[in-house]
Amino acid sequence: MTDILVINGPNLNLLGLRQPEVYGRTTLAEVEAMCVETGKDLGATVTCLQSNHEGVLIDAIHASRGTRDGIVLNAGAFTHTSIALMDAIASAEVPVVELHLSNIHARETFRHKSWIAPVAVGQICGFGPAGYALALRALIGHLETRT
């Protein structure tokens, strides 16, 4: 069965509470439950991880090498700062779909830059929590084209 890791980065543990006008009122627990359900519908096992620590995210990406089929990654603000995350993705050789709840391109200029985008299969942003299901579908569709 297809095995996918959904990774949420810094501050996303506060989903539902944090700036709801930007990120909505859906909690991280609800997002993760929806990811697991979407995975079941698509014949995939989905495991979810959230951390506020860059090294934990890097370790999870490394651990996915050869053990997971793909990753959906919302790296939060590390998206815009972390060459280390970019290098981890490039080194892990696991397909990654980049995901953001908000449309980062319609926000502050510093959010327009993504270090994840050059090493991702693609990017989904601006669709709120529904973006996670879109990202899972996109990733699974991508994996099917490779088999």
Q: Contact positions toward ligand DHK, by CB under 6 A?
A: 11, 74, 76-77, 79, 100-102, 104, 111
Task: Identify which of residues 76 and 95 has a Cβ nearer to ligand DHK in the complex.
Answer: 76
How many whole angstroms separate alpha carbon 145 and alpha carbon 88? 24
Phi/psi for 50 (5° steps) reads -130, 135
| Residue 23 annotated as catalytic | yes
Task: Identify which of residues 19 and 67 has a Cβ nearer to ligand DHK in the complex.
Answer: 19
Phi/psi for 113 (5° steps) reads -80, 130
Contacts of 141 (CB under 8 A, 6+ apart): none
Write down the least CB distance from residue 3 to ligand DHK, Å. Answer: 23
Task: Identify which of residues 38 and 74 has a Cβ nearer to ligand DHK in the complex.
Answer: 74
* Binding site members for substrate: 74, 80, 87, 101-102, 111
DSSP single-letter state for residue 120: S
Positions marked catalytic: 23, 100
